[in-house]
Structure formats: C-alpha cells, structure tokens
Structure 1
Amino acid sequence: MDEGPLWWPVRQLIDAYRSGSLSPVDVCEQAQERIAQLNPLLHAVVLTTGKLARSQAVAAEAAYRSGTAGPLAGVPVSIKDAFHLEGHVTTLGSLAHADEVMPHDSGAVRRLRRAGAVVVGKTNVPEFCQSATTDNLLGPDAANPFDLRRTAGGSSGGAASSVAAGMCTLGLGSDGGGSIRIPASFCGLVGFKPTYGTVHDEGGFRAFSPFISVGPLARCVDDARRMHDVLSDGGDGAQDASDDPKPRRVAWCAKPEGRPIDPGIGAVTSAAVDKLASCGHEVHPVDLDLAGWEEIFGPLVLADEGERRGHLLNGPHELTWYCRRSLEAAERLDPAAVSAARSAQRAYRERVDRWFGDYDVIATPATATTAFELGCRPAAIAGEPVSKLWGAFPFAVPFNVSGHPAVVLPAGFVEGLPAAIQLVGRHGSDHDLLAVAEQLEGALDVRPFARQPVGVSV
C-alpha cells in the first residue's frame, strides 16, 4: 500500500526528485500539513520551521535541475531541540531557555543543511535531555503514535514520534544514555548510536559529555546509514551495505545482568536472534557481565550537570523535579567518586572490548518493556520489582559507558506495541554493524511505521 512520499525511504524520494516525478516543495508542504494535523495530539514538534523548510525545498528542487543536489536534498528532517538552528529558539526543554534564539547552526545541523535536508521543525525533549521520557514544563509530553496514551521515550522522544507518525523522513537525535535507542524501540524505528567520539556537534549544547553520540532516527537501516554518513562526513550518504555480510559470531545476551524483562519482548527478540542464525551467523547464548555501569554513569553525569547548570538552582526559573534533583545531587557529589568513576569507565570499556575478541556482535533486547503509559514508569516487570529510573530500559546505557556503536531495529510487536532488538559492534565498526542490522531487517520484514497513530483518522 502506497501511503505517499512522507513514508518513502530516502532512496525512493531521491530517485523521484532526480527524475522530476516528485517535487521537494510538494513533499515539504505535505510534511507541514501532517504536522498541523497530528502534532496537537502527539506534541512531537515544539517549533515548526515552515518558512525555512520551504526555502530549503525550493533550493533542493533547483539543485536537482542543475545536478548539484546534496545527498539529502529535499528530504524532510526534524531536529531535536537540543541542537542549534540559526535564527530559531533552542529551548532545551527548559523555561530557562524558552526564548533563546541561536545565532548559528551547531555542527550536526550545519552538515544536514549542507547536504540539502529540509528542516520541518524542532522536536520535544525533556529538560536538558535529562530523562528517558519526554516531559518538561513547557508543554505536554511527547506521545507515542502507536498509542497516544503512551510515552514516546526520551530524550529524543519528539524526534522519534515525528518520524514514526510520518511528519518527516528522518529525525536528528542524540544518545547519552539510550536517548536515541529507547524512543526508537518504543516507536518502531531504527535508532543508531555511533561509536563515541566519531560524530560531533560543534558549537552545540553540552550534556552527558563522557557518553554522548549524535545519530539518526529512521524507518529503515539504509535511511539511518545515509543520515549517519552525512553527520560523520563519512561520504555522500549513499553507500550500500554489503549484499551478504560474512558470517559473524554473535553473542546473544537475553537477560543482561539477569534483569527482568517482559515475556513478550523476550519471545520477540529470541525469534529475531533465530533469524540472525538463519542468515548464516553463529549465535552463542551468553551471560555477559555488564554490571557496574550505574556506578560510572551516575557520578559522571551529575558532575557534568553540576558544572554546566548548577547555577540554575538559584535562578529565577522553575525546574522540573528531575532536573532539580540532579543538580542538588551534584552539589553533594564527592570529587573522589567522580575520579573513581573515570577510572572505572576506562576499565569498563576494556572489559567490553575483550568480549569482541571472541564475538563480532553483541545482541540484547533493546528495552525491558514496551512503551508504558505517560507518567507511569513501571515499578515491576514480569512480577519482579525494578527501579523506576532504569527498570524499563537498562540495556542501552552500558554501551554509552563503553562507547561502542549500537543500533536498535524493530523485531515485532507485543500486544500491538513495537518491540526491538539491539546490536552492538566493535569500536569503529559502525558501517559493518549497520550491514548486519540491514540483513536482519530484511529477514524480519517488520514494518511498524506503516501504521497510523491510534485513534487518528487520516
């Protein structure tokens, strides 16, 4: 079923633009119309950029006529409201920045602009990206297109919701503790966190500094690869994955750290791993020791927040409860704990590196649950009590701490909600990891993005 160009992959869009059978201006207008229709329900986009988008679409159309089009020319893209867009506000989800207009693009946005992308709007974030759900004091929470009562995840929740609902083709996100992969999992998308330190956002917002990566939210692996290549200056964004990646040794860790997981997600991800085996990869069930990441992640994030935003505790603006709690904890932080965490992070990275002496890819569930109701983080999973902070999504952060590249992709559904698998690769193996992910994507043939938001007639 053809649901229109807003649902097409980048490759198909670009082919149509090049042939002249489709106009970037028309697609831009469709995106703006869809945002106007759905955003009052989803609260994914906090700022529409219609004037800018139209000018970029007109420029893209001219570039196709002249043969000078960039690798994402005319492709509708949303920008997480943690990236700076010249002449527009970057709120960072905070009342303290609600009216702060940026005088320049940050690095990631600059590369997208240079590639010809059409920026349709900026997307909702939790305050200073400090939550795995997208709630702040500026407006309603970002909702999930599969069920408007449920979270889109965070902190790139607005970006994920915008792509999953067909408001745009690609979303620019960032991942310091699962902030691309968690919302991708909840919203039925591909989300990619590159190797730490390989993609930068020069002149941009700083948070989660020891862990953060800039990356794409997309509806297929090829789209994610194309955006990643633009963001990393790694080429023209049009490389193909190898047709059949050579057999890989896959470590399948079904319950990292023995943490509870929804039985439905366990079944869906186990079936996905079976598909990896059917593709010719060697799958080895293992029990990898991922413990220790919380003792590293917590102190280093708090130290970073305290240094950059501690002054806000005595400022005139109201803060979210979670932001205030973090900054208060930062004030009490023992410098010795920070030093110990830095040393432990080096050891943790080395520990994960050693596993890649035996395996090429690590596979885990992406999250422990499907998207839960807004404001209702689970206190128990599969009958076991869990931390409300990390219980629903404990499998992403270990690989922020270790810095390894990680991708999540849809593996199926649990009671009508998306469930995803996570694949992790060696440092610097980003394209090889995406090739394996694309092969698995083809074997699974899960297309959750083709659905319309629940309760919405379009």
Structure 2
Amino acid sequence: MLNDRTDSPLYWPIAKLREAYLHRDLSPVEVAREALDRAEAFNPELNAYLEITRTLALDQATSAERAFRDGTAAPLAGIPVSIKDTFDISGHVSTRGAAVYRDAVARADSGCVRRLRAAGAVFVGKTNTAEFGQSATTENRLGGPCRNPWDTECTPGGSSGGASASVAAGTACLGLAADGGGSTRIPAAFTGLVGVKPTYDTCPDEGGFRAMSDFVCPGPVAWRVDDARQMLSVLSDRAFASSAVRRPLRIAWLPRLEMRPVDPQVAEAARCAVEQLAALGHAVEEADLDLAGWDAAFGPMVLEEEWRERGHLLARASELTGYERRTLELASTLPAQAAASAREDAEQFRQRVGGFFEQYDLIVTPSTAVPAFPIDARPRVIDGQPADWLWGAFPFSPAFNVAGVPALTLPCQLVRGMPVGIQLAAARGADEFLLNVAEELEAALGFEPAAVRSKWALLVPAGSRSA
C-alpha cells in the first residue's frame, strides 16, 4: 500500500531534519534514498539533473548516519544537496552544460564542493545548466530543456535552472548554484524559492570553472532563508548569525530600472511585498536611483573571458548552442582596449552604488519583470512595450553583480499560477544583515508552495517514517 508523500522530509527546515537525525527519528540513509528515488522518478519529465549520483549519495548518507551516532555530525550532515554542473565533483563528469565536454571527468572537487563534502552534505546529483552559464534559461545540446516544476511547459530560468528545479520538485533540500548576472536569483524567483547572491568573493570556488569571473558568486537555492543561511555559512567558511533587525530601516523601492517595462501583475505583487516592509516598521520610499551603466562594464569583461577560456571552441561551432556560438563570435571582434575600459567603468559603477548605500540600508526591486514563460518563448513585449531579448525579462539582476553587493530573491505571490519574487540588495559585506531582513519579510509574506509540492508528491510505502 502506498501513501501520497506531500510531507516529505525533503521539504522540512534543515534544523528540523537535523533534529530528527540526532534523535534517531529519521535516518540520513532513508532520506537520501527518498531524494534519489524522487530524482530518478521525476527527471525524465523535468530534466533537472544531468547525472544522479546514487552510489556517492548513499555512501555519504551512511557516513552521516555514523557521524550522528558518534556525535561528530558536521553542519550539513545528511542533508541532500544538488550540485550545479559548473562545479566539479571528483570522479564525476563536469559538462558545464556543453556537449563538447560530455565525457570530461573532474579530477578533484572544486572549492565549494569540497566545503559541502566536509560539512557532511549528501550529493544527489549534477544539475542542468545553460551552456557555460551563458543564458538566463536552461537549454543546451545535452538533451531536452530543463522544465519548471510549477508548469513543465515553462522554463525554470537559468543558468541554474536545474538547481532550482531540483529543489522545487523536492529532490534535494538545497541546491548549489552560481550567479554571474542573475543565474541564481532568476531561477529561484521563477520556481518559488529563496536564491542568494552573496557579496562578490564571499564564496570562492578554488580550482573551479571560470566564466563571468569578475561578477559570479556561488550561493544557495532553498525553500527558506534560514536554510540558505546555513548553506551560505558553509560555502563562505563563516557564520551568518540570525538576529533582530533594527527599526526603522531606510529602504529605497525601485519598481522599474532604466525605464524597462514590468508585467503589471508582477509589479503589483512586488508592491504588496514592499507594503509588508512598511508594515514591519521600516521607512520605505520610492526612489529613482541611477543604476544605468552596468552593461558598459559587464559585456566586454564577460566577452574577454569567454574568448580567453573558450575561443578555441569556435573550431567546433556546430557542437555549440546558438547562444554560445554567437557569444564567441562577438568576443572574437572585441577591441583590444575594450575590457580595460570596462574595468574602469565597473569601478565607477561600484562607487556609485556604494554611495546609494550611504543613503539607504536596502534597495528593493521586483526579482524579474515577468513570471516564468513558455520554453523558447522569451517575451519581446511586456506591458505593451518592446522588451529586448537578452535582458528584457530579467532587468533587475545584473546591476548588483557588477556592483559586487549581496542580493537575494524571496517568493512573494503567484501571478497566473506561477511564483514571482521580490529582490533585496544591501551594501557590500552586509550579507548577514540582508539575510536577517529577508527572514523577517519571509515570515510576513507567508508564501504558500503547496501547489507545487502536491504536484510532485511521490508515492511511498505505507508506514514510512514521518516526524
């Protein structure tokens, strides 16, 4: 006899799961098996994983069970985590989302994976990504597109689409993602999750993949802020403590950036979330901060690195996605001094954004301009206005990568049945403060993910343990 498992421990807060392990109410091995069974059952439809690492996960879960018995359990012991395939797991293929590397086996863990392994995490598998992280949706030439668990006709976003889909479908408690221009926050917003881009260089990935290296930040996708906090503490080798937020904070609300259009229902959902910040006792004012100019730095610096790292792949252009081929072709024509000039622009932009945080404690925007859209159908028109193909749906994220400041997305409402998020950004180095504000807002918003959890309930044997 089978039961509908909508209360899976894979949805529990990490703190609750650890307590269940500690008191022997639940075994890390049985939770790992459930995660693996779910991943294997759901992946044909979602394409969230490029590899499911069953043997590794069960070995890690067995070690975690022993550690709880011996009193030596590390912070993430027994916690199922998915790993974006831009990070290396020793002995496993690292494709970076590229067919040309479908057989490339990593010789060692990269830095983030090494920290998660040392913290006792259980690696469910390598998750799908845009090729070399170069797209805000997750399609490549390794197979079908990654799909959104809320509606499989829609994209989960990208480039960490597999990471977010893996968590939203309940196959992992946490996903290791990376954000070079929104690649954690965009898919987290599209799948109803918390996604964190920390201050630049907070979470190094020693020996890892290089792309958007001047802007990229490893970080977590999770169901809740506290879970993200715990993973971020491991990735950064420092503790981010939870504490009350002083009142009133000075908050700048930016409903639009650079006059780019926003879906009216998304704008209204974000406005309602901002009202919750005011209700919490903070001083919110609609502001007109000038965040233009990030692209003058971003584009040339990204293209310079793509050409340096992957220009040789133009000789195999037929094996690349169209977007990576176009990126490399454009990179091949980059003027010699463009990147040097872009670095000067980046420094000026960082100083300008730093000045905003002398006036305000927090900047708040919608996370995206639209909810998740059908695969291969990026909107060209938003609210009756033309929207550019590259950034039109995602105008709020890259400026904070160029600024190097921490930013995160929280789910706030459903729009036409799909989740949308609110983005919070703080001054460089204020990651702990940002998490604490986000946790208070999260409680006030009370986002309800029941619909997606019911959709991906796995039938399990009656009598399986629950806590």
The TM-score with structure 1 as length reference comes to 0.97
Q: What is the CA-CA distance between 1:4 and the residue it aligns to?
A: 1.7
User: What does residue range 157-172 of structure 1 map to in structure 2 within 5 Å?
Assistant: 157-172=161-176
> How far apart, CA to CA, are the structure 1 residues paired with 2:451 and 2:226?
17
> How far apart, CA to CA, are the structure 2 residues paired with 1:8 and 1:245?
29
1:329 is paired with a residue whose SS is helix
Partner of 2:280: 279
Aligned length: 455
Say whether 1:185 aligns with 2:185: no
Residue identity matched to 1:37:
A
Partner of 2:144: 140
Say whether 1:423 aligns with 2:424: yes
Say whether 1:347 aligns with 2:348: yes
Partner of 2:397: 396
> How far apart, CA to CA, are the structure 2 residues paired with 1:50 and 1:62?
18
> How far apart, CA to CA, are the structure 2 residues paired with 1:456 and 1:320?
34
User: What does residue range 351-370 of structure 1 map to in structure 2 within 5 Å?
Assistant: 351-370=352-371
> How far apart, CA to CA, are the structure 2 residues paired with 1:86 and 1:318?
25
Q: What is the CA-CA distance between 1:196 and the residue it aligns to?
A: 0.4
User: What does residue range 59-458 of structure 1 map to in structure 2 within 5 Å?
Assistant: 59-235=63-239, 240-315=241-316, 318-448=319-449, 451-452=452-453
Q: What is the CA-CA distance between 1:447 and the residue it aligns to?
A: 2.7
1:356 is paired with a residue whose SS is helix
- Please, what is the CA RMSD of the aligned residues? 1.4
Contact 1:255/1:261 (<8 A) preserved: yes
Change (3 A) 1:453 1:395: farther
Identity, in percent, stands at 52
Q: What is the CA-CA distance between 1:374 and the residue it aligns to?
A: 0.3
> How far apart, CA to CA, are the structure 2 residues paired with 1:240 and 1:229?
9
- Shifted more, 190-199 versus 317-326: the winner is 317-326
The one-character-per-residue Cα deviations of 1:371-406 (angstroms, maximum 9, x if unpaired) are 000011100100100101110001000000110000
Residue identity matched to 1:426:
A
> How far apart, CA to CA, are the structure 2 residues paired with 1:234 and 1:270?
34
> How far apart, CA to CA, are the structure 2 residues paired with 1:388 and 1:454?
31
User: What does residue range 33-72 of structure 1 map to in structure 2 within 5 Å?
Assistant: 33-72=37-76
- Shifted more, 331-340 versus 144-153: the winner is 331-340
Residue identity matched to 1:30:
E
The one-character-per-residue Cα deviations of 1:354-381 (angstroms, maximum 9, x if unpaired) are 0011100000000000000001110010
Partner of 2:32: 28
Change (3 A) 1:92 1:115: same
4+ residue segments displaced more than 3 Å: 243-246, 452-458
Q: What is the CA-CA distance between 1:246 and the residue it aligns to?
A: 3.7
> How far apart, CA to CA, are the structure 2 residues paired with 1:2 and 1:149?
22
1:41 is paired with a residue whose SS is helix
Contact 2:6/2:457 (<8 A) preserved: no
> How far apart, CA to CA, are the structure 2 residues paired with 1:109 and 1:247?
39
> How far apart, CA to CA, are the structure 2 residues paired with 1:449 and 1:291?
38
The one-character-per-residue Cα deviations of 1:27-51 (angstroms, maximum 9, x if unpaired) are 0000011111111110001100000
- Shifted more, 155-164 versus 255-264: the winner is 255-264
Change (3 A) 1:120 1:316: same
> How far apart, CA to CA, are the structure 2 residues paired with 1:205 and 1:240?
30
Change (3 A) 1:31 1:101: same
The one-character-per-residue Cα deviations of 1:192-229 (angstroms, maximum 9, x if unpaired) are 00000111000110000110101000000000000000
The TM-score with structure 2 as length reference comes to 0.95
> How far apart, CA to CA, are the structure 2 residues paired with 1:42 and 1:231?
27
In structure 2, runs of 5+ residues without a counterpart are 460-467
The one-character-per-residue Cα deviations of 1:324-345 (angstroms, maximum 9, x if unpaired) are 1111111100122222211100
1:290 is paired with a residue whose SS is coil
Residue identity matched to 2:226:
D
1:357 is paired with a residue whose SS is helix
Change (3 A) 1:322 1:2: closer
Change (3 A) 1:453 1:149: farther
Change (3 A) 1:147 1:240: same
